[in-house]
Amino acid sequence: MSALYSLDVLRMAASVSEFPPLENADARDERRSPTCGSRMTVTLKLDKDARIAAIGLDAKACALGQAAAAIFAHAAAGQDRAAIETASEGWRAYLAKETDSLPDWPGLDLLATGRDYPARHPSMRLAFEAASAALASAEAKQAHG
């Protein structure tokens, strides 16, 4: 087994089941990778300050996509839109080799070897991108009453 699919990555991928989709979510977004067909739906409950109070995932993705989603979900509680967008952009830039620094998000180092497999990048970014879009949508909805 390659380092790409280490036992730790596979265990993290399996832990995505700890975050079932949320009923009556305050925010929701679905993203799909055109490269591999992976699909990720993120559902969020928000607190009064528009921070993530709870997260649910429906991940139809490869092990790397599921592991990335679980890593995201494990640290999402308490985060606001700015923090999610910063982490999402940092993760994208790291994978694209625009920077050698991982974003400040616990656990992403587990997936650092995925950087050398560009076809996997879209799947590995889905949860971050879906959560960012869900938060932006919820913010816009609140601004418009």
93-126 pLDDT tens trace: 999 999 999 999 999 999 999 999 999 999 999 9
pLDDT at 25: 96
Q: At what angle do helices 7-14 and 63-76 cross, to 10 degrees?
A: 60
- DSSP letter string, 17-32: GGSPPPTT-SEEEEEE
What's this model's pTM, rounded to 2 decimal places? Answer: 0.94
Domain 3-139 has CATH 3.90.1150.10: no
Question: What ranges do the domains of the chain cover?
Answer: 3-139
